[in-house]
Chains A and B, each alone.
Chain A
Amino acid sequence: MSDQDTGESREVTISYHDGTSRAATVVDREVPYPDGKLIVSRTDPNGIITHANQAFIDMSGYTRDELIGVNHYILRHPDMPSVAFAGLWETIEAGKKWHGYVKNLRKDGSYYWVKATVIPNIRNGKLVGYTSVRRKPSRSKIKASEELYATLM
């Protein structure tokens, strides 16, 4: 659990890069990343989720049906600066692998930190989507990311 956690909740409107937005409840409570697990998801080239493993379902708090077919930004936490995701898309659209630390929003409003890696899926020379694999980050990397992202908001 982060030192900054207050357990308090707030109502926010989260705006996405495609012009849409949604109202969400955000709770200052961290859910610890489970040891030994990888969260795995795949999207189409537009970021629409096509595959979610059980760890993803468990940690996000959504059902598989709620995740498949929606944009991956459903996990976006309002504390994450948009510049971080701009960097992600710029990297993977160039066909490269992206690494980063991400604070994700759960369905119940609480959050979890991940070390994420995203790679383009190339089949017969053509981009068919992206695979994202998340693993457990260290507390020091989470702390550094919290401090960095606060300056980028």
Chain B
Amino acid sequence: MAYNLTVSPDFAPDHISGWYFFNTWLQRQLDVGVHLELYDCFEKQRSDIRDNKIDMIYANPYDASMLVRELGFKAIARPQERPDETVIAVSAESTISSVEELQAGITVATTDDPDVHTMGMIMLEPADLDGSNVTTKEVDTYVIVAKNLLNGNADVGFFLKDAYDELSDLIKGQMKVLVSSQISVVHHSLLVGPTMQEFIPRLEERLFSMHEDEKGKGVLQSMNLEEWEPMTEEETEFMIDLIDTLVIE
């Protein structure tokens, strides 16, 4: 029987091959077939998760609530020192220098990345901005968010901080950051579904020592990760509770 692994659609496209290397590594460690299914949007992925087509997932923190509390997934690992932080940026030519200067009626370029979008909207609140008085322009990638700022088609852009940092210096030089979140405790995590619970002990043993051997280290580097660290049940619940407080209703 082959199991299905998937990755949150917000992973950086540059590291797509890394996830295929990880999938191969995983199959060798567990001695079972694992198929890597990648999605280009959250909606289709969530639909397949709800249809029980996914057995393991590297998930966006926003989806952890559904996976853990509704579908019985268990978070076992998170990447070391890789919290999900959000950046709000404007064109370098913009006269705006702080969030509070932004006015109702602005256009926000964003992606379908749920935690970045939520945090971005929260960081606009000090300017009395919300879904009712901004226009949201949802695009596919952070590069397109940047392009919208540079060509004047959006006033502000929301970025995953890691993605912002990976933009070219040429692009970054034409933008300025208004605010960057410093939350620290919201991050992606590797979750195992009910169908694969029997593999958790071996999986934990191999994942947490993965950075210690050359092959494992190479796979991690190709995914742009340093190493995996354990995630306890209470840490997972805490993160889900925290995200629950941020959901804009």
Contact = CB atoms under 8 A, between A and B. Distances in A.
Interface of A: 33, 35-38, 40, 42, 51, 53, 55, 97, 115, 117-119, 121, 123, 131-133, 135-141
Nearest to A115: B125
B127 interface: yes
Nearest to A134: B245
Contacts of B126: 33, 35, 136-139
A138 B245 contact: no
Contacts of A118: 245
Contact of A35 (B99, B237, B245): B99
Contacts of A33: 126
Contacts of A136: 123, 125-126
B182 A138 contact: no
Contacts of A138: 100, 125-128
A39 to B, nearest CB: 11
B181 A121 contact: no
Given A36-B181, A133-B242, 18 more contacts: A35-B123, A35-B126, A35-B179, A36-B180, A37-B182, A37-B183, A38-B181, A38-B242, A40-B242, A51-B238, A53-B185, A55-B182, A118-B245, A119-B244, A131-B241, A132-B245, A138-B125, A138-B128
Contacts, number: 60
17 contacts: A35-B179, A36-B182, A37-B183, A40-B242, A115-B125, A117-B245, A118-B245, A119-B245, A121-B241, A131-B242, A131-B245, A133-B245, A135-B122, A136-B123, A137-B126, A138-B125, A138-B126
B246 interface: yes
Interface size class on chain B is 20 to 34
B237 A123 contact: yes
Interface in B191-249: 237-238, 241-242, 244-246
A85 to B, nearest CB: 18
Contact of A36 (B123, B127, B237): B123
Interface of B: 98-100, 122-123, 125-128, 179-185, 237-238, 241-242, 244-246
B81 to A, nearest CB: 15
Contacts of A53: 184-185
A112 to B, nearest CB: 13
A119 B240 CA distance: 11
A121 B237 contact: yes
Contacts of A135: 122, 125
Contacts of A133: 242, 245-246
A24 to B, nearest CB: 28
Top 5 nearest A-B pairs (CB, nearest first) are A133-B245, A117-B245, A131-B241, A36-B181, A138-B128
B183 A38 contact: yes
A123 B237 CA distance: 8
Given A37-B183, A38-B183, A119-B245, A137 B125 contact: yes
